[in-house]
Amino acid sequence: MAIEKVASGWLVDIRPAGRNGKRYRKICKTKAEGLRWEAWMKHQHTLQPDWQPPKQDHRRLFELIQEWYRLHGQHLKDGERRRSVLENICSMMGNPVAAEIRGVDFTTYRSGRSTEVTANTLNHELAYLRAVFNELIRLDHWDKENPLKNVRPLKVDERELTWLSKEEIQLLLEQLANRRNPDAIKVAKVCLATGARWSEAEGLTATQVKNNQITYHRTKSGKNRTVPITENLYREIKTRRSGRLFGNCYQSFTNALADSGIELPKGQRTHVLRHTFASHFMMNGGNLLTLQKVLGHASIQMTMRYAHLAPEHFFDVIKLNPFNHY
């Protein structure tokens, strides 16, 4: 028997090496597909009698995620968080056989989830899952193509970057000065003076503050950066020789921000002080490359978001617009 019609398709049952050789069986969707597979198998054995067809990979997506974490993910700074995200994706996709995943499987999942999360979140999920396959390919633990290589990320509109005016900064500091937690205003001042993220400033230790400078470690980009501060701010925050300089005070900050009446777009609250530093830095004539180093951006493209605030930018708009030459 070579090819026979069965309930689920066409069964190919052959022994390419002869009656006493190894037996191979496969169910194909059509008879033509079965004939092609039979011819291909016979050709392979003609070229190389000892040839064996590659074994099917029955690993499911969850197994690949754990393999990725063991070989690579555990060494990433956010590896545990990434694994949690990946496992959640895996669960919602039904933990498919990895070898059977196609781009359309992810886009179908993405379509159903688009009402729950932002496009930016979905793009991160695509990047994380695609990276699992890329890393396993690099480590020779996946011998097929990346099934997500042709899936495009969703287009995301550039977010409005809100920054505080001098009057709003003063208003916010007045509110913080009235808080029970004295650390909130100190952390806010550090963010406004150095462009730090709130978590970076709140977690400062005494050893990071020396000689009127603050050195940030374990940053988002993975690189250390050192930013100078004034003598007055140095004395205000360097209150001990060891240990953390501040306690947890983010809730105190959010309460002060709410009481100030300052309105911010959704999602801007945590970074408004960092954006305020960068915006005023550029408006006061700062250099983009210096700003990139201070903020710790991995690429200048991230810092370019603030380029339009440079004084020369406004001057050129007024000087070079066509109406001015009418």
Active site residue 220: yes
Active site residue 271: yes
Which one is catalytic: 220, 238, 293, 305? 220
Which one is catalytic: 83, 110, 197, 280? 197
Which one is catalytic: 45, 189, 271, 275? 271
User: Which tokens go with 152?
Assistant: 């495009």
Contact between residue 186 and residue 236 where contact means Cβ atoms under 8 Å apart? yes
Angle at 173 between CA 168 and CA 175, to 5 degrees: 95
Which one is catalytic: 82, 83, 225, 297? 297
CA neighbor of 148 nearest in space, from 93, 185, 202, 193: 93
Which one is catalytic: 45, 274, 275, 280? 274
Q: CA-CA distance, 104 to 100, in Å (whole number)? A: 11
Active site residue 70: no
Which one is catalytic: 109, 128, 216, 306? 306
Please name the residues in contact with 52: beta carbons below 8 A apart, sequence gap of 6 or more.
22
Q: Strands, E, within the chain: which ranges?
A: 3-6, 9-14, 24-28, 209-210, 213-216, 225-228
> CB count, 10 Å around CB of 26?
16
Active site residue 297: yes
Active site residues: 197, 220, 271, 274, 297, 306
